[in-house]
């Protein structure tokens, strides 16, 4: 096939989220726990930059994960996958299916952050298994892993800070190479800090307000949940640039109510 008639495929795409962040633009996404391609496509078409398909609290199996990754891409947005902890198999599944990155919960310290990189990246950066016959490779057996979604620089790697132990090691986590985003998990923090899940408690607010500038100063994108326009304004003023607006299940119920 001549170059002029080359078929453009998903692996030829750039990671729009990483590009926007690199260019100083904030990005806005949504959590998805409903394993429905139709729901996630509708929400992606509403204007969000990305959807995080949640394998930790959602009910995705590999078939629904595959379908929802495709649905987000059909809508022109970036599918990310929250895997259930530092799980090499889940990271492999998500990235081989063509996800634009992984979000990893329960990262306790810099050692855990390094382990996340290890499962997210190919050698020499990490130990991710390489298979050139997957969707991420367009099922095409390319000659190398230096282009498209197979390139180590393509996927976005995000870790979630959601415990007192992680807060204590935040500066070291921020120094971890190949971590793109550090996300403040306010719901787990609101439990870990002893305020019974109250995410608006002054203690939680103070922790977030102190942490976001430190994350940005270290050269990482900083993530947090936002639930209304005033919280978006506050998050941006703190320097947060990876914003997640609610969860699909709640937004549907809230709209219906």
Q: Which tokens hold the place of 237?
A: 């003023």
Residues contacting 6, CB < 8 A, separation 6+ = none
Q: What is the DSSP letter of 145?
A: S
Concerning whether 57 is annotated as a catalytic residue, the answer is: yes
- Contacts for 224-230 with beta carbons within 8 Å, 24 or more apart? 224/183, 224/184, 224/186, 225/186, 225/187, 225/199, 226/28
Nearest-angstrom CA–CA distance, 219 and 175: 9
Name the catalytic one among 5, 57, 100, 201: 57
Nearest-angstrom CA–CA distance, 148 and 7: 13
| Closest alpha carbon to 134 in 118, 122, 116, 117 | 122
| Closest alpha carbon to 182 in 94, 236, 109, 118 | 109
Catalytically active residues, by annotation: 57
């Amino acid at each position: 096939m001549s170059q002029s008639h080359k078929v453009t495929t998903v692996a030829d795409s750039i990671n729009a989220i990483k590009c926007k962040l690199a260019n100083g633009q904030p990005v806005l996404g949504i959590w998805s726990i409903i394993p429905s391609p139709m729901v996630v496509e509708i929400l992606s078409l509403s204007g969000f930059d990305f959807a995080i398909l949640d394998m930790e609290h959602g009910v995705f199996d590999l078939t629904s994960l595959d379908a929802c990754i495709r649905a987000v891409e059909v809508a022109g947005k970036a599918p990310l996958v929250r895997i259930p902890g530092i799980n090499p198999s889940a990271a492999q599944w998500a990235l081989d299916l063509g996800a634009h990155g992984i979000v990893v919960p329960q990262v306790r310290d810099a050692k855990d952050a390094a382990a996340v990189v290890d499962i997210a990246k190919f050698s020499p950066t990490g130990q991710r298994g390489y298979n050139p016959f997957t969707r991420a490779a367009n099922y095409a057996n390319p000659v190398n892993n230096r282009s498209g979604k197979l390139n180590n620089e393509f996927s976005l790697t995000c870790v979630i800070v959601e415990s007192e132990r992680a807060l204590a090691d935040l500066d070291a986590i921020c120094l971890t190479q190949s971590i793109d985003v550090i996300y403040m998990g306010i719901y787990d923090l609101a439990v870990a800090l002893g305020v019974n899940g109250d995410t608006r408690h002054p203690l939680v607010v103070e922790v977030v307000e102190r942490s976001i500038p430190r994350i940005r100063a270290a050269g990482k994108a900083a993530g947090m949940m936002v639930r209304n326009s005033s919280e978006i304004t506050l998050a941006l003023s703190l320097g947060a640039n990876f914003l997640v607006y609610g969860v699909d299940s709640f937004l549907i119920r809230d709209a219906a109510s």
